[in-house]
Amino acid sequence: MNRISVIIPYYQREPGILRRALDSVYAQDFAGHDVEVDVVIIDDESPSPPEIEVDSLNRDGFSIRILRRPNGGPSKARNTGLDAVTGADYVAFLDSDDLWRPAHLSTGLSLLKKGAQIYFCDSQYSETETWFKGLDCIDRLVAASDPQGDELYLVSKEKLLPLFIESCLAHTSTVIYDYAAIPDVRFDASQLTAGEDYLFWLGILQHTDLAAYSTQVLSDRGRGIDLYRSALDWNNPECVKRLYYALRLHKKIKRHYCETPEQKRHVGEKITLLRRGIVYLFMRNFLRHPKPNARVLSRLAIHDFPSILLLPVNMLITARQKLAGKVEFPIG
């Protein structure tokens, strides 16, 4: 029998959202697999308590635990869940506003049992759009992989890692990994609004030889995707903070995971765009509300001093791009 721990960070203002996520866990078909599921819900001081969502959910083969911690965001909540995992062969992640389709766990288990240490799949986030459709490198990923059936693939770390550095290929609620083999990797809780999951996947990949994925859509993303995309709106006051954390993310990727000059060049271009995006937002916000975001400025001075040194140059470049109508949003 295989034991899977399902980590669900929980912070919601409305009842019913977590229940739908849990129903999707209970609806897993587990075709051909003898599985015991340990659901670990981490209550991150949620305004809507999780107990009302789970009181009536008792089924054979499933257990539910609720852990509580001071509010600290999804990364700290997931780490609390990982620290509480006992006796699990695999760990799967599910955000409380997302859903799994019935074949998600059985598909992942089938590929993990072929020797892979991490599995992910495509996810739906609107009626017409999926995560993989928005990525330029999926065709190259498939070409570098070994087919294992209908839309199922194995790929070596050496072939996967460069593409993962180029783009984050996995959404949190699509990932299952071999926890028994890789028990010590944790989320970077300092990445408050961007990239903590991306760094986690890269950290897992450092300990793998073989990865697996499916191009099937086996997960549906909830309202969290709308919150994410709203923070990537020039008009959102939170946007400059998100760009700051995205800048920190890509500096960490370049420092710790880029192995070739081409990878460093690619990530370096993203860093340049993010610095210019931050400058553009400061200029834009100053013209609308003459009050710069002092907290972000101070963080830039500490964590990315080149942004301060390059401020005059980037202001000039950004102004020229704006006049030419060529200001490019740096992420999203």
Q: Can you give the C-alpha Rg of the chain in angstroms?
A: 21
> What pLDDT, on a 0 to 100 scale, did the predictor assign at position 234?
46
Cα dihedral 235, 237, 238, 241 sign:
positive
The better pLDDT of the pair 216, 58 is held by 216
> Would you list the DSSP string of 163-210?
HHHHS----GGG-EEETTT-------TT--SS-HHHHHHHHHHTT-SE
pTM equals 0.87
Q: How many CB atoms lie within 10 A of CB 253?
A: 23
d(CA 87, CA 76) in angstroms, rounded, equals 21
> Residue 122's beta-bridge partner residues?
217
What are the pLDDT digits (tens) for 91-102? 999 999 999 999
What single DSSP character describes residue 130?
B
What are the pLDDT digits (tens) for 152-202? 999 999 999 999 999 999 999 999 999 999 999 999 998 877 789 999 999
What are the pLDDT digits (tens) for 25-36? 999 998 888 999
Residue with tokens 């390059």: 310
User: What Cα–Cα distance (Å) separates residue 84 from each residue in 4, 33, 50, 141?
Assistant: 13, 24, 18, 34
d(CA 41, CA 18) in angstroms, rounded, equals 10
